[in-house]
Every structure is written in C-alpha cells, then in structure tokens.
C-alpha cells in the first residue's frame, strides 16, 4: 500500500485548492547486488530531521510562511510572472509540508501508544489543514482566468510548464470549485472530518482488548499480528479457535466502529454534495479523470467470474481433505511452507525475482535495501499492516511492515519495495510538482513485483510439494488481490450509496451488507464454503475503508500487473520500456491515460477477463499436479 494519509487528503483538497502489484520466468543473469546477512530492519528518520526539535523548527517556519501564501490572493491572474511566483511559493510550502508529515506519521506509526508521537501527528495534520485554508483561493482564481488566459500564460512563461497538469486539472474541475470564502470554509472543515480515521486507528491499534488463547500449550495474546500468523495454522481446530476468539472482539465494538465509519461516510458525502458531484464515487474518480466505467466494469466482471473463485475454494477443500470448507480455512496453505525466511533471504529472493526488470532496477533496489529505509521489526503498539511513504521528495521513500518470516511477509517486502522503486523512478524523472503519482497507478508496480516473485518461486520449485505451494501462493495472490479487493470495492459502493440515499446506517447494517457479500463471493448458498454470521464483522478490520475508493485499485492493478509481468518475463523489451515510462511519468498526466499509453484500457472488460483466465490456468496446472 502506498501511504497517502496527509498526502492523499491534501491532494484531494488541492485538486480544488492548489493541486498539491503462472508462468516460468525467462532465464536471466543472476543479480550482482545482495543485501548483507543482517540488513537494516529499522528505519533511520534523521535524513528527514535530525531531531524532534528540528521538526518543531521546520513546522514553525512553515506556519510563519502561510500568511505570505494567503497574501497572494488576487494576484494569480495579473501576469505570467505573478502566477509563477504564486505557484512556486505554494509548491515550496507543500514540499515542506509533505516532509513534515512523513516524519510525524512514521514516528507515530512506530508505536501508537506513545502520546508525544500522536500529538506530533496532530500538529502535522493541523499544519496541513492550515495550508489548505491558506491556499483555498487558488482554484477559484484559476477558474476565473479561464482556459485561454491560462494557456497564454503557459506559452509566455516556460517556467510554468511544471505546473501545467495542475492548472489544467483545476480548469477541468472548475464546475466543482466554490467561491473563495466557501473553499476556505471547506478547508477548515477538513480537520474535524478527518477525525473518524484517527479515532479508528487509535481504537483498533491501541485500545481493543485482545483475548488470550492457548495453542498446543503456548499462550498467545491474539492481537492483529498474532491473528495473521495463527490463522494459517495446519490444524483446522486451531484455525476455528483463532477465528472464534478474534472476531468477537470486533463484533463487541460493532456499534462504536459503525458510528465511526458512518461519520467518515457522512463527511465524504458532505464534501461530494458541497462540490456538486453526482455522488462520492464521481468525486474521487474525477480527481484523476478516471472513467466511472473502470469501477463498475471491475465489479460487473468480478461477479461474472465468481464461478472461478468458487472453483478455487472447491479445489482447496479437496486438497485439504475437508468435507465442508469453513471461512477459517481460507488462509491455510495447501502445502507446508518449504521454509521460513530471514529478512536478508526475503530481500535476496526479491532481487532474484525482479531480475526480468533488468540489471539497473536490480542494482538500484539492492543498494536501497542497504539503506535504513524500512521498519520491519514487529513491536507492541506498531501500526498494523504495511505501507510505503514516498512523498518526501528530497529524501527517499520509507517502508513499514512487520516481518514474521513467512512467505506472505516476503511477498509484502516485494510489494512495498515495488512502491518504493516507483517513487525512486518518478522522483528521478519528474520535478516535485509532477512526481507524486495516483493510487490508480501506484498499485501496479507493487503487484507486478508480487507476481514476479510468485512466478519465480513456482518456476524454481525443486520438489512437487514446493511446486504445489508456489502455485497455491499464486492463487492466493489472485484471490486476495483481485476477488477480495473487488468485494471490498462493492462494500464501499453500497455503504456510500446508502448515505447518499439518506438511509439510516448502523454498525449492524454495515455488518449485514458485508455478510451478504461475503456469502455471495464465497458460495455459501451453493455449499462451496460455510460463512458463519460472526464473520460479517470483518469490515471493521479493514483500515483501507477510511481511504475512500482506494481498494478497487488493487484489483485493477493486479489485472495490469499480470499483463506487464507475463510480457516482461517473456523478454518483451518494448513492453518493459513502456512499463518504466509509466512509472517515470509519476503524476504528470491523468493516471488512466498513463496506463492506457502503456497498452491497457482499464475501462474495458478485457483486463479482468484475462486475470480470471490466468487463475483458471494456474488451477489447471495445480489440478494436474495433484491428481
């Protein structure tokens, strides 16, 4: 996941304000760069700021500059030089803000129980909101200038070129731009509207009362990280024990978390209505000028492909010797993992897997592994999940994960470093103003790396058991990244639409919506997999829902990733060049158009039909291997 907490919020606001991841791999030469036996496992934040005091000083400096930005109001349309002065000053402040937010967020996520770090994050969020208020006048002034005048200024002042895409985006969104005083009011409302996500994060990461369980004589605190580990246990009774102990915690907070999420939804719908969008989906897709057909085609084609998903569950049940597949059986591997991995081994395996991307990519990634860019050590209070933060343009990306030695952890390393390398390439090819890329593209290189890893492991399996495990991991990647994320996308759409229709929505209502989807996607009515009603609470576990309309892009991205990975593995150098051009494009154009130039129309059924066909092909291979 590409982390876009403040960056995404600012980008959303500034779109109206100032516009702030089965086939054998082709043999290739072994990479020459490897990580050391004990690679850095904790990040070093001093390249951002040498101390908390330095951060405080930088924040004070930024806040002192904000009145100067406000004073630019009324000057943008007076001359090309005035427009350049204003856009440059705003961009410089945004650059400083992103760096501030990166430090504050990374420090806070190391340990959510440290109050001082949470306070610093709040100060960063406040600075971001003040920045938005100070620059809220920009879209209205650009809209008032009109296309002809803006184009004239761009022609007269070449230095404005790096702001072209921002300016054109503001002109395109002019009908959703409000009067300056209204923009200022909406900018001021951003902080309270952001609070549901902050409350959810603190509640679920720091305050939920995790139960104690005993498995084979060993006691565990069943928190989120332990759940992820134990849910894949080979013993079905242990898996059932884990599920029945873990999910009641969320079920007990259904009303509270439901109220928090509904507050978030209402804030989103409020913004969409205030800006005169047809609906919240329209608002989020309009930012990148992405056709609504992309979202709706994905959902439609995924539902058409559910028989393939059900085939997979039946295949799993047979290979696991289960008479009736349960939801608690969904994470157990079909074969015993051949080994556990150290972080060094995970990095080395990733370097080998991405070798089809070329020696320059491998060399750069290997060198970056040597830097202290990643926090991989599990620890109490650490934010759950994994992400990459790459908006500190003048420093380097950072990666957060909790490495536990299983294959999923290795895949996460490959995924998040796919994000990091995307940022390295985009930052190297683009100025700050067009370097940060949209989520729509962000998940493609990360998922491409995952697919290259899965294909590499399958191609280099030395035994039948290893091959079965590798193929099953490919199928899990497709299930989890395509079908599961599309199910999440459908849940998001239904939840937002309920608020947009002014329907009442409670935690219990959200659980029912999610449970209905869970049963349909997993074939409960068809007898494919039994879904206990308790597991309808799973929606409360998904933090991505607080970044509206994010998760669908995992599903679109794996469809694109399959296309790129398969072609690049076959040695298609032209396609590889198109792939790298897509990454280096950063945010210099509409993301849908950037991907389309690389050869894919994500609004058509073809990419989704192809990924479903790939899943059937892998199942054919696994079925033949295990008969």
Q: Using CA of residue 394, residue 366, residue 559, residue 571, what is the dihedral sign?
A: positive
- Secondary structure letter of residue 404 according to DSSP: -
Tokens of 42: 């904790």
User: Do 548 and 268 contact (CB within 8 A), yes or no?
Assistant: yes
416 belongs to the catalytic site: yes
* Spatial separation of the C-alpha atoms in residues 364 and 580, rounded to whole Å: 14
Give dist(CA 444, CA 308) in Å, integer: 23
**How far does the chain reach from its first CA to its final CA, in angstroms?**
37
From CA 279, how far away is CA 253, in angstroms rounded? 29
CA–CA dist 221, 461 (Å, integer): 35
- SS3 (DSSP) at 159: helix
Alpha carbon distances (Å) from 288 to 170, 215, 292, 332, 578: 11, 48, 11, 38, 20
Distance in angstroms (rounded) separating the CA atoms of residues 268 and 162: 30
Query: 183, 347, 416, 566: which one is catalytic?
Result: 416
**Whole-number Å distance between alpha carbons of 385 and 365:** 22
Give CA–CA dist 383/476, Å, rounded: 24
Selection from 584, 579, 604 nearest residue 21 by Cα: 579
Closest CA to 293 of 277, 305, 281: 281
| Six-digit token string for 147 | 């296309």
Q: Are 478 and 554 in contact (CB under 8 A)?
A: no
Rounded to whole angstroms, the Cα distance separating 156 from 135 reads 24
Closest listed residue to residue 394, CA positions, set 134, 102, 109: 102
d(CA 474, CA 565): 13
Radius of gyration of the chain (CA): 24
Per this entry, what is the length of the chain? 627
Provide the 3-class DSSP secondary structure of residue 220: strand
Q: Is residue 88 helix, strand or coil?
A: helix
Which residue carries 């389309």 as its tokens?
596
In whole angstroms, what is the distance from residue 627 CA to residue 615 CA?
18
Q: Sort 113 into a burial class: Cβ within 10 Å, 0-12 / 13-18 / 19+.
A: middle
The token duo for 345 is 């081994």
Structure tokens at 136: 């809220």
The residues annotated as belonging to the active site are: 416
């Amino acid at each position: 996941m590409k982390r876009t907490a403040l960056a995404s919020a600012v980008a959303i606001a500034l779109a109206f304000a100032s516009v702030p991841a089965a086939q054998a791999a082709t043999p290739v030469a072994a990479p020459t760069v490897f990580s050391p036996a004990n690679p850095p496992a904790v990040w070093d934040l001093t390249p951002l700021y040498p101390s908390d005091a330095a951060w405080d000083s930088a924040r004070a400096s930024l806040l002192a500059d904000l009145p100067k930005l406000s004073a630019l109001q009324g000057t943008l349309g007076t001359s090309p030089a005035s427009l350049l002065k204003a856009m440059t000053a705003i961009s410089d402040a945004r650059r400083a803000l992103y760096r501030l937010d990166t430090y504050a967020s990374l420090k806070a996520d190391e340990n959510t129980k440290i109050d001082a770090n949470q306070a610093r994050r709040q100060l960063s969020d406040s600075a971001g909101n003040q920045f938005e208020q100070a620059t809220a006048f920009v879209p209205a002034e650009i809209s008032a200038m009109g296309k002809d005048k803006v184009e004239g200024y761009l022609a007269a002042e070449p230095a404005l070129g790096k702001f072209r895409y921002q300016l054109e985006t503001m002109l395109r969104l002019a009908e959703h731009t409000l009067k300056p005083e209204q923009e200022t009011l909406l900018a001021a409302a951003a902080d309270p509207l952001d609070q549901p996500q902050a409350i959810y994060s603190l509640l679920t990461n720091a305050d939920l009362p995790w139960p104690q369980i005993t498995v084979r004589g060993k006691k565990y605190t069943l928190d989120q990280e332990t759940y992820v580990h134990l849910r894949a246990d080979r013993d079905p009774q242990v898996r059932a024990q884990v599920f029945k102990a873990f999910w009641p915690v969320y079920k007990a907070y259904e009303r509270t978390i439901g109220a928090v999420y509904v507050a978030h939804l209402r804030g989103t719908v409020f913004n969409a209505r205030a800006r005169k969008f047809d609906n919240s989906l329209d608002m989020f897709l309009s930012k990148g000028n992405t056709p609504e057909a992309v979202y709706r085609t994905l959902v439609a084609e995924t539902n058409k492909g559910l028989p393939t998903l059900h085939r997979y569950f039946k295949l799993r049940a047979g290979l696991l010797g289960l008479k009736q597949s349960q939801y608690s059986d969904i994470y157990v591997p079909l074969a015993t993992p051949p080994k556990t991995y150290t972080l060094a081994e995970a990095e080395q395996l990733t370097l080998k897997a991405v070798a089809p991307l070329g020696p320059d990519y491998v060399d750069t990634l290997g060198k970056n592994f040597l830097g202290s860019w990643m926090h991989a050590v599990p620890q109490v209070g650490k934010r759950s999940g994994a992400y990459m933060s790459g908006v500190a343009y003048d420093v380097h990306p950072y990666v957060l994960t909790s490495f536990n030695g299983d294959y999923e952890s290795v895949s996460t390393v490959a995924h998040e470093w796919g994000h990091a390398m995307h940022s390295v390439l985009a930052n190297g090819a683009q100025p700050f103003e067009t370097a940060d890329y949209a989520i729509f593209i962000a998940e493609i290189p990360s998922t491409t790396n995952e697919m290259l890893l899965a294909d590499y492991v399958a191609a280099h399996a030395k035994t039948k058991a290893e091959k079965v495990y590798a193929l099953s991991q490919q199928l899990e990647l497709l299930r989890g990244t395509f079908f599961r994320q599309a199910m999440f996308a459908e849940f998001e759409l239904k939840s937002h639409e309920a608020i947009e229709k002014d329907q009442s929505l409670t935690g219990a209502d959200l659980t029912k919506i999610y449970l209905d989807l869970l049963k349909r996607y997993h074939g409960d009515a068809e007898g494919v997999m039994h879904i206990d009603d308790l597991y309808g609470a799973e929606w409360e576990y998904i933090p991505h829902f607080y970044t509206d309309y994010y998760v669908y892009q995992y599903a679109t991205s794996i469809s694109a990733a399959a296309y790129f990975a398969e072609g690049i593995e076959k040695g298609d150098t032209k396609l590889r060049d198109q792939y790298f051009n897509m990454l280096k494009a950063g945010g210099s154009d509409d993301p849908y158009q950037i991907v389309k130039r690389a050869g894919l129309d994500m609004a058509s059924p073809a990419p989704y039909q192809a990924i479903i066909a790939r899943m059937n092909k892998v199942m054919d291979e696994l079925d033949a291997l295990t008969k």
